Amino acid sequence: MPLPLFPKPSCLILSAGLAALASAAFAQTSSGAEEAGVGDAVVPFALPQSGPFEPADIEIENDQAIADWFRSAHANAAAEAFRHWDDEGQVNAACATCHSGEGFRDFHGLDGSEAGVVDGEIDVGGVVDCGTCHNAGLSEVEEVTFPSGVVHPVQGVEASCLTCHQGRSAGKDVADTIADRALDQPDPELRFINPHYATAAATWLGGYGEAGYQYDGRDYSGRFFHARPVESCNSCHDPHTLEVGFEPCLTCHQADSPQDIRIARQSYDGSGDTSVGIRSDIEANADTLMRMIRDYMDEVAGAPGIYDGTRYPYFFSDANGDGAIDMDGGEPVVYGAWTPRSLRATFNWKLVTADPGNYAHNPQYSLELLYDSIADLSDPLGIDMEELDLLR
């Protein structure tokens, strides 16, 4: 469907009578200016030089950018990311920062309100609009605070990307929750901690951003700088379509797609196959970790569980182990036998898999979190890490 086009704001459409008065006023002003020796005539308002105009005939300099944005996920007003609060009539303040352009401007004080909090009612129906990234006030936002508490310096539109793709929780939240609890003892007070979705910025900052649960005594790769020409969000992603430009990758990599880029000469998943992209290793280790999480729930916690990625909180009870989610009164039974060990490993699994671009944003950090989580579960499960032949 073609985009609605409108005359430029500087064009004032007048009735025939007003136009005649305007012409007379313009003539008088021009005459007066010339008599006074002023070089240029003073134009009190702007009028089209001729008309009438058809909307389709009016040139809009950024019409392609608008069209690209209109077809992107940021503008999809029908998506659950923007429709979730329709029944409530307003977007929850805790969610509004990233699920509404109006909420984003409120959070950063770009609308004149207090910065750092959404303190107004945010109407439903909003999307990540033009003003989210093109607001002049973004130049004054110099830092973004991540869920871990890390404060990262930003410049311009980078504030938009890092504000909304940092997740909602960090390894620190997990550590605080499981502190002083028996490592392998199911605790009914524990609940799954969700790092949230599309956590690209959290992955990108790596160990420096402390997004994952980082095990004691282990070192973690920091921010993934990549190569200098492609070290920012906009250097890889088109800011309006959000699509990844693959051509710059070919300067250094030989591959058919970003997913096929290897970046390593060794195999991390024990397969020994280095002909595939590093994404393959990350996905394989994530699958291994999920199998171990399920085995741990069954064998160590004594309470089988099932993961369902289509509904929150994703993990549900399967008390009889029949492979079907337990139901109570027509509702799924939420898994309630978390231990500190299973909770921290599962958080890392969800953090890595919540970023579909982890192989490009920070493959090293992703592999490190997966490896350490697998190693953590291997002990109570009696699994020999050397036999898995994984690399960290």
Tokens coding 390: 């994984």
- Asked if pLDDT for residue 240 goes beyond 60, the answer is yes
Instruction: Give φ, ψ of 143 to 5 degrees.
Output: -155, 150
Evaluate whether residue 166 is within a structural domain. no
Do 81 and 211 share a domain, yes or no? no
Give the pLDDT score at 68: 95
pLDDT digits (tens, 9 = 90+) for 258-307: 999 999 999 999 999 999 999 999 999 999 999 999 999 999 999 999 99
Average pLDDT on 210-217 reads 97
* Residue 149 is assigned to a structural domain of this protein: no
Indicate if the pLDDT at residue 11 is higher than 60. Answer: no
| Helix, strand or coil, per DSSP, at residue 99 | helix
- Helices and strands per DSSP (H, E), number in the chain: 15, 8
Asked if residue 129 and residue 10 are part of one domain, the reply reads no
Q: Is 316 helix (H, G, I), strand (E, B) or coil?
A: strand
**Same domain for 96 and 5:** no
**Is residue 378 a part of any domain in this protein?**
yes
Separation between Cα atoms, residue 191 and residue 197, nearest integer Å? 18
Same domain, 76 and 53: no
**Residue 79, pLDDT score:** 96
> Band of the pLDDT at 35, cuts 50, 70, 90?
very low
- Is residue 316, in this structure, part of any structural domain at all? no
Q: 279 and 234: one domain?
A: yes
Question: Which residues span the domain enclosing 179?
Answer: 171-302+337-388
Res 49: pLDDT:
66
Query: Do 54 and 126 have their domain in common?
Result: no
**Chain mean pLDDT for the chain:** 89
- Say how far apart CA 77 and CA 99 lie, in whole Å: 10
Per the listing, tokens 């750092």 go with 116
- Whether 154 is in a domain gets the answer no
Segment 81-95, tens digit of pLDDT: 999 999 999 999 999
> Binning pLDDT at 50, 70 and 90, where does residue 107 land?
very high
The answer to whether residue 328 sits within a structural domain is no
Domain count, the chain: 3
Residues 197 and 267 occupy one common structural domain = yes
Looking at the fold, whether 81 and 216 belong to one and the same domain comes out as no
pLDDT of 282: 98
Distance between CA atoms of residues 100 and 364, nearest Å: 33
Which ranges constitute the DSSP H helices of 179-222?
200-209
Predicted local distance difference test score (pLDDT) of residue 125: 94
Does residue 40 surpass a pLDDT of 70? no
**Residues 210 and 343 placed together within one structural domain of the fold:** yes
Residue at 307 is within a domain: no
Residues 242 and 347 in one domain: yes
pLDDT (tens digit per residue) in 336-391: 999 999 999 999 999 999 999 999 999 999 999 999 999 999 999 999 999 999 99
Is pLDDT at 33 greater than 70 in this prediction? no
Whether the bond into 44 is cis, omega within 30 of 0: no
Residues 108 and 247 in one domain: no
CB 357 within 8 A of CB 188: no
Please tell me the pTM assigned to this model.
0.84
Q: Which of 97, 118, 140 is the last residue of a domain?
A: 140
Shared domain check, 83 and 52: no
- Per-residue model confidence (pLDDT) at position 162: 96
Domain for residue 317, yes or no? no
Q: Which of 271, 299, 275 is nearest to 285 (CA)?
A: 271
For residue 22, is pLDDT > 90?
no
